[in-house]
Structure 1
């Protein structure tokens, strides 16, 4: 007799998933500190402008363009837990270099750019391995519940990490705030030692040429209409988000004169939205179905994006923050439902390649958005980037209407 979901223990009582959950939670909490601290370090310590901040944001994600496809093929060949542990340790070392260089008086934008590239590569490998490991830990029938828990925890880390980061930067300075993130990666690596892992699903791909594996992964993704619709929607949203957020340190702190904690609080509102959306995603999908939930959420939240370009003093700060909350609520819903859907329709021996190919385009869009934000900020001002991001975000749900994804249960 097969075991039903009702017969299985709660997810956090499963040792492997619990350790993965804690490792990711700790790492994500620290990462949100650097998300705020690194651009503030560039602006307040090194005097960076809009173009330099945009490039700093873009470099970490553009790294995915060069490494994404080979990373997926490689992860499908090897055991995933050691990959995650090594990338945690390497990222810790990279971040330790920032306060050390600051103490020595040698910190430069060139070093911050190098840190962004190395962190992007490490995060790519960690995330591909982590997402490929989840189905084997919990079973495909519990993917939505597991991803809801993981995404909600990530959103909670956004709230705590970003709001804490603004305060930390104000109290101890941006370089020491980066040190907190470095320590979090070491803690994450320690928890990952308790995650069990079966050997790779198939032995044959390890003997195939990497190029052939990459081509097979790309063909699989673009041959699946559901995955293509999710990819187009995600690419548009990921292009829009950096346009709406990368230049916030320049606008809020540099131009409007708000203290650093206001930037952290504003970004934390986004974490609250993602937390609410990811927590509600499972219930929404049970009521509406995965496909219908995704396009209805996009339609209902589209007008909120048009509040963001009005970010300013007084009530406009609150209005923009409310729009940011609504948009990130939708992101929380989509992150749970679309991630679970992708994992559900992908065979185990293709998970690494599907995930890496998807991330190549999704994170590549984030990188392009960061570069575009920097360019627009330099030429036409910060608000031009906010307006373009708002318009793209408002229409990013439209691809669902032309795909059978909207009929997915």
Structure 2
């Protein structure tokens, strides 16, 4: 961001928007601030997924990046979460979350627009692609921290599962359409044009978020130092007996999962010899799995309970990585089918797991600490991504592509241990946190 954000919310509010969190009986489709967020994220997801088809094609095919360079590029895409999440989390709690999200989307849109400009100027290379990835990664830290903090403020607690599920459903639906469309566009036109779709999506999302009238609750007043507030966020995460095992298992899953997933473009484009259109179709199949996972997430929570559903969906998400690793043992056609099934199944499991565990975390955390909780968690669970991407490049270079997938699958499965030995394995209903009782008592006294 080029200018500091104003820490005070907008005073002017469009009269046609609801500014209070609706009661539990109000339909989410009539919650206009929530629908503004939902619409903006859906449009942005289409543009981003079209661009996501192009970036591996540009790196692997146009720039002929090596496996090691692909690993470093993957590291660049996530390193900001490790370096920036904690201070950003403390800062976002103090300022307008809307303005943070708007500014972050504008920055990401401009960064994406730089890719076709550099390519058609004849100067784009892998290091420049890494630099763009770093900028987008940094902006994503700001956006995602604010995003995870604003959702619980727009909907009642009893609608959080449905609200998160619908956000995933619409975004995954957009992601299902985006890769197929991107693959066709990459074949008809140069793939270097496609990042402009993400630019357009980010800018439309920024406008939709601007239509949310104000932050609910408003930015928190503060009288303590950043260091103290960062430590409070970390302490909350690791002292909560329900959030802690989720964070540890997800960290292990992301570390080893990234070792495998970083090499999927190399597997599909180079090893299996898929063209741009077929590559886009494979991504579409995975995204359809995401739609399935988002639709079924409330079912998992009802069937197994909001606690037990977390380890159950983790198991469901971890198994298909072994199928992906087995691709190297199969004939060409069977390998493509196995990769498609694994993509559908794996993303379905990941999305279902994310919906149930994020909803639990949001219910456990006091509103004043949501950004710091999110930042503390993402420093770990996304901060290990760059390490996983780097290790992926090293492993694939020295021990072969198949090794990256087998190591990723095994390590991801081991992450289940943290959930098996946690209270979540035995609980259907996760008890309400103590701060809610204090809050209810305060309301009763008033």
Provide the residue aligned with 2:30 in structure 1: 13
What pairs up with 1:13-32 in 2 under 5 angstroms?
A: 13-32=30-49
TM-superposition CA deviations, 1:227-263 (whole Å, max 9, x none):
1111012112212332222222222222332212222
> What is the alpha-carbon distance in structure 1 between the residues aligned to residue 184 and residue 372 of structure 2?
40
Q: In structure 2, what is the equivalent of residue 73 of structure 1?
A: 90
Residue 50 of structure 1 corresponds to: 67
Q: Aligned-pair distance for 1:159?
A: 1.5
Structure 1 residue 114, shift from structure 2 partner: 0.8
- Of 106, 114, 132 in structure 1, the residue corresponding to residue 123 of structure 2 is 106
Cα offsets for 1:284-322 (capped at 9, x unmatched)? 211220222222233355443211013261012112321
Aligned residue number for residue 269 of structure 1: 285
Q: Which moved more, 1:291-300 or 1:177-186?
A: 291-300
Question: Does structure 1 residue 149 correspond to structure 2 residue 166?
Answer: yes
Q: C-alpha displacement at 1:204, in angstroms?
A: 3.9
Query: Which has the larger helix fraction?
Result: 1
Q: CA deviation at 1:22?
A: 0.8
Paired with 1:300 and 1:216, the residues of 2 have a C-alpha distance of: 33
Counterparts of residues 173-192 of structure 1 (less than 5 Å): 173-192=190-209
- Separation in 1, partners of 2:316, 2:370: 32
| 1:222 alignment counterpart | 238
CA contact (8 A) 2:116 2:196 kept: yes
Report the equivalent of 1:197: 214
Could you tell me how far apart the structure 1 residues matched to 2:131 and 2:33 are?
A: 34
Whole-angstrom distance in 1 between the partners of 2:428 and 2:95:
32
Change (3 A) 1:83 1:375: same
Q: RMSD over aligned Cα, in angstroms?
A: 1.9
Residue number among 353, 356, 362 corresponding to 2:375 in the alignment: 356
Count of aligned pairs between the two proteins? 405
More off after superposition, 104-113 vs 189-198: 189-198
Structure 1: any 5+ residue segments left out of the alignment?
A: none
Label 1:37 to 1:138 Cα distance change in 2 as closer, same or farther (>3 A): same
| 1:176-204 Cα shifts (integer Å, max 9, x gaps) | 01111111111111111111223655744
**Residues 105 and 228 (structure 1), Cα distance of their counterparts in 2 relative to 1, 3 Å cut:** same
Deviation at 1:36, TM superposition (A): 2.5
Match of 2:435 in 1: none
Change beyond 3 A, Cα 1:360–1:408: farther
| 1:275, distance to aligned residue in structure 2 (A) | 1.4
Deviations 1:61-109 (A, max 9, x none): 1111110100100100001001111111111111111111111111121
User: TM-score w.r.t. structure 2 length?
Assistant: 0.87
Unaligned runs of 5+ in 2: 1-21, 430-446
Bigger Rg, structure 1 or 2: 2
1:203/1:394 Cα in 2 relative to 1: closer, same or farther (>3 Å)?
closer
Q: Residue 406 of structure 2 aligns with which residue?
A: 387
SS of match in other structure, 1:314: helix
**Residue 305 (structure 1) aligned with residue 321 (structure 2):** yes
Q: What is the TM-score with the length of structure 1 in the denominator?
A: 0.94
